[in-house]
Every structure is written in C-alpha cells, then in structure tokens.
Structure 1
Amino acid sequence: MPDTVQAVMSNGLHPNSEVEDLSVAHLSYSNGSMAQITCSVNHHGEEQQIVFHGEKARVSAPWKISASTQLENGFPESNTELEQKIDKSSNC
C-alpha cells in the first residue's frame, strides 16, 4: 500500500460532459518507489497501455519491453540482452 497518494481530476476538453476527462494520481511508497496512474479520454489516438517501470527494464500491455543500462554520465544504453531474456521468460 502506498504511504501517500496525490490525485487530481478535471474536465479539460469536454465542457458538455458531466464527468471528468482527465485524472492523474501519484503514489509514493516507503521503499522509495513511486507509481503514476493517468487516465484520459483525450488521448488523440495514442497507444493505450499499462506500463511497469523497474530498476532495469520496463514492460507493458500491450507487450513491449525496453531495457537499458545506465552509463557513467547518467544516460541510458540499450540492453538488448536483458530485453531478450525478459521476452524469452514471458511465455507470451
């Protein structure tokens, strides 16, 4: 369970609607991790997905893997070996 939750919602682009069209929540956990939940009907055709970002990689539904290793200068370098390892173990 999160330690804190901050959330906002608004009707930003549909003034004729009786419900909100955008909501965002930020969750903070005691171990230092965070979560963000965004829900919007203002997506303009962008991919709808659920994304989990971890220390070394991200996975999402629809299935998509991206893994990287941090360089000394702080910038990421693609880690295709880890991407292949995650994909192979996914049973998808």
Structure 2
Amino acid sequence: MQAKFKGKLVDVWKISHRPVYENWVKQAFEKSILSWNERNQNVLNFESGDLALVGDFLVREQSGEFQVVSKERVSQKLDILEFNM
C-alpha cells in the first residue's frame, strides 16, 4: 500500500502472516533483511537487530530504509493513500 509518512510518499506493509504480494517485502525476506523470529512467530526480525510485531506497519522510505509504525500510532503517523489486501 502507499501512504504519506513525514510528508513523503512511502510504501507500507501491514505486518501479517498472510501471503505477501508486495515485491519489496518479498525481496527483503529473500535477502534475509527480514525474517520471522524462531521462538515467536508473531515477531519480525530485522537484519539490524530491530523487531516488529504482527499488526504493526513496515514503512519503506524513498531512501530504501525501513521504519516501523506501531498499530497504536498508525493513525497519527501514516496517511494511507492506497490500501491493497
């Protein structure tokens, strides 16, 4: 999906166990930038050591960097423009 984050257009994925259709998310898993936690499958691991939870939103900025927006703060931080499921 697309959204505005900090005034800029970004790609967003709502973290879930549903099949992933966004190519950028698929590529991040294939390159091991993202992986599911072995002990808790509701936790998404980042290559950097950061974590996110199912239900949170993964933001890919124009620079290619990832940010996580918690489900509790999504309405404050993201302006969803296009929602694909």
- TM (norm. structure 1) is 0.23
Q: When the two structures are superposed, what TM-score results if normalisation uses the length of structure 2?
A: 0.24
- Which of these two proteins has the greater Rg computed from alpha carbons? 1
Which structure has more RCO (C-alpha within 8 Å, separation ≥ 6)?
2
